[in-house]
Amino acid sequence: MRLRLEKRAAPSAAMRWAAPLMATLLMLVTGMLILVLLGKAPGDAFRVFFIKPLASVYGIGELLLKTTPLLLCGLGLAIGFRSNVWNIGAEGQLTIGGICGAGVALAFGDTESSWLLPAMLIAGVIGGMLWAAIPALLRTRFNTSEILVSLMLVYIAQLLLGYLVHGPWRDPDGYNFPQSRLFNDWELLPLLWDGVRTNIAFLIALLLAALSWLFTAKTYAGYRMQVAGLAPAAAAYAGFSERRNIWLALLISGATAGLAGIAEVAGPIGQLQPQVSPGYGFAAIIVAFVGRLHPLGILLGSLLMSLLYLGGEQAQIELALPSAITGLFQGLLLFFLLAADLLVNFRITGSAR
C-alpha cells in the first residue's frame, strides 16, 4: 500500500475552498509546534496569539483597523491576479498613496476645510495609480516584467518617503525627528466609535469589496479580464485588448493600494513617518490567494492576516519573541496554501502494489 496522486477529472470546487482552511489549520499546528520548541507553553502561546487580541472591544477595533489596508490592497491585487497581471508592488503604491495624500494635507491643511479630507483621499488614490502606471507603461511599451518593475518600485517609494521626512517635509518643531508635523483633526479620518481606532476607511473597504464583486461577476470589463487571465489566446481571439487589460489591472490595484496608504497616514499614524506600513502590501498578496481572489474570501483572509499581525505584537510583548514571528506565520500560511492547492487538481489515493 502506498499513496499516489491521481489527477481529478475536474478541479474540485469543494477543495478550492477547503484548501485555505486546511492551510490555516496546518499553520496553527506548525506555528504552535515551533513555539513549543522555543520553550513556550502551547496553551499560553495560543491564548496570547489568537485569543487575547480579540478579548476586548479595543482589540476588535484594532483587528478591523489592520484589516482595512489588507482588504483594500487584496481586493485590487486580486482583480489583477485574476487577469494574469502580477502587481507585486502594492507596498510601494501604498507608500506613494500615503505621500501624496499627506502632501495635500501639508500644503493646504493649515486652515480647516471640509473638502480637505476627500482631496487627501483622492490624492492618495491618484498617487497609487501613478506609481502603478509605471510598470503598466513599461510592460505595454517594452514588454518588461511587471513583477520585477513593481517590486523594485517599492524600494524607490520607500526611499522617497525617507527623503521627504528627513528633508523637506520634516516637522520644524519636531526636535529633528524624521517625521512630518502631526495632522490636524480635520485632516484625520473620522473614527467609527469612541474607544476604538477603527475609522471610516473600514466602511469604504467593505463598500469596495461589494463593488469588486460586482465588477468581476457582472461587468463585461470584469469578464474580459477574467478571460485574459484564464486563456490569453481566447482573449486575443475574442478581440479583448491585452494593453487595456494590463492598464486596468495595474491602475485598479494601484488605486486601492494608494487609498490604503492615505488611510493609514490619515488614520492611525496621523503624520508621515519613515515607515507607513509593516508590509501590508506584501501580506495582501497572501490574503488575495488565501481568499481565492474572491471578495468575500479576501475579507476573511484579511481578518486572519490582521489577527496574525496583532498576535505577533502580543507575542513580542508577552512571550519575548522577536518581531519576525509575524512573518513566520505569514510564510507558513502561504506555504501550506500552495501545498493544499495541489489537492484541487489531484486527489490522494492508496494503491496496493
Partner 1 sequence: MTDSFPPTTSAATPGSAPRLALRGISKRYPSVVANDAVDLTVQPGEIHALMGENGAGKSTLMKIVYGVTRPDAGTIHWQGEPVTIDSPAKARALGIGMVFQHFSLFETLTVAENIALALDHRAAPSTLDARINEVSERYGLPVDPKRLVHSMSVGERQRVEIVRCLLQAPQLLIMDEPTSVLTPQAVQTLFGTLRRLASEGVSILYISHKLDEIRQLCDTATVLRGGRLAGTATPRLEDDAGLARLMIGSELSPCQLPPKQPGEIMLELTNLNLPSSDPFGTHLQRVDLRVRRGEIVGIAGVSGNGQKELMAALSGECLSPDVGAVRIGGQPVGRLGPAARRRLGLGFVPEERLGRGAVPAMSLSDNALLTGAATAPAMLRHGLVSRRAARDFATGVIAAFNVKCGGESSIASSLSGGNLQKFIVGREVRLDPQVMVAAQPTWGVDVGASQMIRQALIELRNRDVAVLVVSEELDELFAICDRLVVIAQGRLSPSRTPAQTSVEEIGSWMSGGFIAAADAKQEVRDAAAA
Chain residues in the site for partner 1 (CB under 8 A): 6, 8-11, 218-221, 223, 226-227, 230-231, 233-234, 236-241
DSSP characters for 226-275? HHHHH-HHHHHHHT--HHHHHHHHHHHHHHHHHHHHHHHIIIII-S--S-
The three grid cell numbers given for residue 346, joined into one nine-digit string: 489531484
- Residues in the chain, total: 353
* DSSP designation for 199: B
Residue 188, CA distances (Å) to 206, 211, 330 in order: 19, 25, 30
CA distances from 83 to 86, 218, 240, 289, 344 (A): 9, 15, 12, 14, 20
Q: Which is nearer to partner 1, 56 or 219 (CB)?
A: 219
- In this structure, what C-alpha cell is assigned to residue 87? 502587481
Q: Which is nearer to partner 1, 214 or 338 (CB)?
A: 214
Picking from 19, 81, 78, 14, the residue whose alpha carbon sits closest to that of residue 337 is 19
CB nearer to partner 1: pick between 206 and 221: 221
**Smallest gap from residue 214 Cβ to partner 1 (A):** 9
SS (H, E, C) 123-152: HHHHHHHHHHHHHHHHHHHHCCCHHHHHHH
The CB-of-240 to partner 1 minimum distance in angstroms stands at: 8
Sort 93 into a burial class: Cβ within 10 Å, 0-12 / 13-18 / 19+: buried
Q: Which of 224, 259, 229, 255 has the alpha carbon at shortest distance from 241?
A: 224
Q: Which is nearer to partner 1, 24 or 140 (CB)?
A: 140
Alpha carbon of 8 to those of 65, 349, 351: distances in Å? Answer: 41, 11, 16
Closer to partner 1 at the Cβ: 96 or 246?
Answer: 246
Of 227 and 259, which has the nearer Cβ to partner 1?
227
**Min. distance of Cβ 255 from partner 1 in angstroms?**
19
Cβ proximity to partner 1, 184 vs 241, nearer residue:
241
Q: Whole-number minimum distance, CB 15 to partner 1, in Å? A: 14
CB atoms within 10 A of CB 293: 22
- What minimum distance in Å lies between the beta carbon of 63 and partner 1? 35
| Location of C-alpha cell 519573541 | 321
Instruction: Give the nearer residue to partner 1 in terms of CB position, either 215 or 282.
Output: 215
Comparing CB distances to partner 1, the nearer of 167 and 239 is 239
CB of residue 224 vs partner 1: minimum separation in angstroms?
A: 9
The answer to whether 91 and 277 are in contact (CB under 8 A) is yes
